[in-house]
Amino acid sequence: MKMVVLMKQTFDTEEKIVVKQGNIVEDGVKFVINPYDEYAVEEAVKLRDEFGGSVTLVSLGPSRAAEALRTALAMGADEAVLISDDRIPDDEYAVSKVLYTYLSKENPDLILGGNFSVDRGSGQVAIRLANMLSIPHTASITKLTINGTTAEVHRDAEGDLEILTLPLPALFTAQQGLNEPRYPSLPGIMKAKKKPFKTYTLEDLDLTEDEVKPATKQTELTLPPERSAGQILIGEPAEAVSELVSLLRTKSKVI
Amino acid sequence: MSRTIFIYAESREGKLRQVAKETLGAAQLIAKEGDTICAFVAGSQITEAISAILPYGADHVVTMEHADLVHYNPDAYFAAIKAALDQMKPDIVLFGHTAIGRDLAPQVAAYLQAGQISDVTAIDHEEGETIFTRPLYAGKAFEKRVFESTPAVVTIRPNNIKPAELSENAAPSSVVDIAYPAPSLRTVIKDVVSKATGKVDLTEAKVVISGGRGVKSEDGFKPLEELADLLGGAVGASRGACDAGYCDYSLQIGQTGKVVTPEIYIACGISGAIQHLAGMSQSKVIIAINKDPEAPIFKVADYGIVGDLFEVVPLLTEEFRKVLV
Ligand SMILES: Cc1cc2nc3c(=O)[nH]c(=O)nc-3n(C[C@H](O)[C@H](O)[C@H](O)COP(=O)(O)OP(=O)(O)OC[C@H]3O[C@@H](n4cnc5c(N)ncnc54)[C@H](O)[C@@H]3O)c2cc1C
């Protein structure tokens, strides 16, 4: 089975966001594999170990994203592709077009990605790709079983559980609960260094800057107003509770 | 030039969802003079949902009813909306940022080769341009975004944009039924286990009562559920509680969970890790109940009670019951 995992490098979820001159500061920030993509990597590696085949990681991003790809190779993926080009804008229309150009020549049986990326959080790229590639998809899966050329999946839909079947090739996005991602082992890290790693630019994909013009543009970036600590209600629990309810009525006016 | 704004008026089990009115509200915010707003209602047995949207001021209502649309199937729903889009040729397409909207909008954006701005929390106009505000890093930052091309696809976060208002003399000028195109479905729904039916949707709830590792067990959520039921709210959780197996991951709030913006958020036995704060710090009023006076959650809470949640939550339920009668 030929599998492709769409992967993105994101800020560690512990990081505080700092904005300077309209940009998010990246100096000194720890980067990780997007947590949802980690489930996708784990699932692909497990399936490869069960059914054979290969796992190719594909990431679009700055050159630092190579670290995340190395980590995922150390988790057991077979090869990595980094599409890196400053001319590709931060816009899902453009990003999915670039990824489509690469993937349309690959014909994988299975494409796995994360439910959304914890930085931009727009959750568009994978589903756009499924549509562009004309393959079926299920987003937000918590279980995946392959039976020959069909997949059975569990999907988390606002708390309800849906059980679906669909034919391969197909695309899935991983939700928490799908599996427990492994830590890269030391031998895994050593092996990862020798695995194939390709880097592509727009030219390598036969795309021009004009073809990846963004459809949307950021005009402003701000931090939310800081929340200041409020009032601790002291005293016996019963007193504190009655004071709270009264404050909710009189001061906050929410009930 | 006048434009057509198309909204997906989401229904569930035949009933119009609150987010549908908010989506229509968003369309009204975007609309300039001369623009036309078209609302699309699709599903199986949607008579009630159709009548529910009629008095809210859409210019046209397009409907599609078919048994294939009883549950959300990406193939069926995409074929359905495609038929409606081909007919209406909209300039802007709007969805709620719900399980359905999150899945359907990118398919539509790909089909229309359009840009999409997801999870929008506010819409403004500056110098004739429509500006969309949305969170980054689950609310640790916010960006304003504009479209550089048409058509445009937008999903709006539930609970943030003012819903359309009832307007007595604004019945739609047309209500048109479009035939379901009956595609062959690749995806088959084998079963739907509804765990959330009858409950208030977490992302739409006005009141959220969340439990963390401090609830100590599945049973520990019971007092929280009682309070949520009383206030017509929903129960949420920290990842700590989910990881410990006290509840389903679908309840998780935070950077890798759901983002909620209720009027009242009550965190019970939650320490207040940065990933949790990312998902709830935009709530209007935050209340924290925690045994540990040093818990970081108190740094963002409007009101805090230092105490045992198993004592405080039932007292709170009683107190609310007193004032709500
Ligand atoms: C990649 C990644 C993503 C993450 N994403 C999320 C996310 O989306 N959402 C999220 O919530 N977390 C997330 N986390 C986890 C986060 O870092 C914390 O581990 C988690 O939020 C802690 O949950 P908690 O507050 O319930 O548990 P703890 O930190 O264990 O806190 C329990 C609290 O309960 C209090 N307590 C105990 N007993 C009682 C009692 N009887 N009465 C009152 N108070 C009591 C204690 O004083 C303590 O403050 C993520 C972590 C990682 C690494």
What pLDDT, in 10s, does the model give residues A130-189? 999 999 999 999 999 999 999 999 999 988 999 999 999 999 999 999 999 999 999 999
Rounded distance, CA B301 to CA A248, Å? 13
CB A83 within 8 A of CB A101: no
Asked if the B202-324 domain carries CATH number 3.40.50.1220, the reply is yes
**Has residue B169 got a pLDDT over 90?**
no
Test A162 with B192 for CB contact under 8 angstroms. yes
**Has residue B196 got a pLDDT over 80?**
no
Residues forming a β-bridge with B2: none
pLDDT at A151: 98
**CA quadruple B244, B249, B255, B256: dihedral positive or negative?**
positive
Per DSSP (E only), the strands in chain A are: 2-7, 9-11, 19-20, 23-24, 31-33, 54-60, 79-83, 110-114, 137-147, 150-157, 160-167, 170-174, 197-200, 216-222, 231-232
| Minimum CA distance residue for ligand 1 atom 8 | B254
Q: Is B258 in the pocket of ligand 1 (CB under 6 A)?
A: no
For residue B322, what is the DSSP state? H
Which residue of B73, B81, B97, B116 to mutate against A (max A Cβ within 10 Å)? Answer: B116
Test A217 with B255 for CB contact under 8 angstroms. no
**Has residue B33 got a pLDDT over 90?**
yes
Among A227, B266, B263, residue whose Cα is nearest residue B253: B266
**Has residue B197 got a pLDDT over 80?**
no
Test B250 with A137 for CB contact under 8 angstroms. no
Mean pLDDT of chain A: 97
pLDDT at B110: 98
Centroid of ligand 1 to alpha carbon of B213 (angstroms)? 6
Which distant-in-sequence residues (6+ apart) come within 8 Å of A31 by Cβ? Answer: A9, A10, A11, A12, A64, A67, A68
Rounded distance, CA B298 to CA B290, Å? 8
- Count the alpha carbons within 13 Å of B111 in the hemisphere toward its beta carbon: 19
| Distance in Å from the first CA to the final CA of chain B | 53
Test A247 with B303 for CB contact under 8 angstroms. yes
Q: What's chain A's length in residues?
A: 255
Q: Is B210 in the pocket of ligand 1 (CB under 6 A)?
A: no
pLDDT at B6: 98
Test B188 with A229 for CB contact under 8 angstroms. no
CB B90 within 8 A of CB B151: yes
Class of domain B4-177 as given by CATH:
alpha beta
Q: How confident is the model at residue B167 (pLDDT cuts 50, 70, 90)?
A: confident
Contacting residues of A for B134, CB less than 8 Å apart:
122
Q: Is B213 in the pocket of ligand 1 (CB under 6 A)?
A: yes
Measure CB to CB from residue A11 to each of B134, B137, B144 and give the nearest one.
B137
Test A159 with B199 for CB contact under 8 angstroms. yes
pLDDT at A227: 86
By percentage, how much of chain B surpasses pLDDT 90? 94
Domain B4-177 identical in fold to domain B202-324: yes
pLDDT digits (tens, 9 = 90+) for B222-251: 999 999 999 999 999 999 999 999 999 999
For residue A162, what is the DSSP state? E
Judge if ipTM > 0.90.
Answer: yes
Nearest CA-CA distance, residue A243 and chain B, Å: 10
Mean pLDDT of all residues in A232-239: 94
Measure CB to CB from residue A222 to each of B142, B299, B312 and give the nearest one.
B142
pLDDT at A228: 85
Which residue of A160, A165, A171 to mutate against B (max B Cβ within 10 Å)? Answer: A160
Cis geometry, peptide bond prior to residue B151 (ω within 30 degrees of 0): yes
| Distance in Å from the first CA to the final CA of chain A | 57
Residues forming a β-bridge with B11: B16
Contacting residues of B for A119, CB less than 8 Å apart:
136-137
For residue B186, what is the DSSP state? S
**Has residue B161 got a pLDDT over 90?**
yes
Q: How confident is the model at residue B199 (pLDDT cuts 50, 70, 90)?
A: confident
Centroid of ligand 1 to alpha carbon of B154 (angstroms)? 33
Centroid of ligand 1 to alpha carbon of A180 (angstroms)? 19
Contacting residues of A for B248, CB less than 8 Å apart:
159
Q: Is B276 in the pocket of ligand 1 (CB under 6 A)?
A: yes
**Has residue B174 got a pLDDT over 90?**
yes
**Has residue B269 got a pLDDT over 90?**
yes
Mean pLDDT of chain B: 96
Rounded distance, CA B26 to CA B120, Å? 10
Ligand 1 pocket, mutate which of B208, B276, B281 (most atoms under 8 A from CB): B276
Q: Is B243 in the pocket of ligand 1 (CB under 6 A)?
A: no
Segment (H or E) for A88: none
* B103: contact with A, CB 8 A cutoff: yes
By percentage, how much of chain B surpasses pLDDT 70? 99
Which residue of A8, A13, A173 to mutate against B (max B Cβ within 10 Å)? Answer: A13
Q: Is B281 in the pocket of ligand 1 (CB under 6 A)?
A: no
Q: How confident is the model at residue A206 (pLDDT cuts 50, 70, 90)?
A: very high
pLDDT digits (tens, 9 = 90+) for B120-157: 999 999 999 999 999 999 999 999 999 999 999 999 99
pLDDT at B225: 97
| Minimum CA distance residue for ligand 1 atom 51 | B275
Centroid of ligand 1 to alpha carbon of B239 (angstroms)? 6
Q: How far is CA B59 from the centre of its chain?
A: 24
pTM of the model: 0.97
Domain spans, chain B = 4-177, 202-324
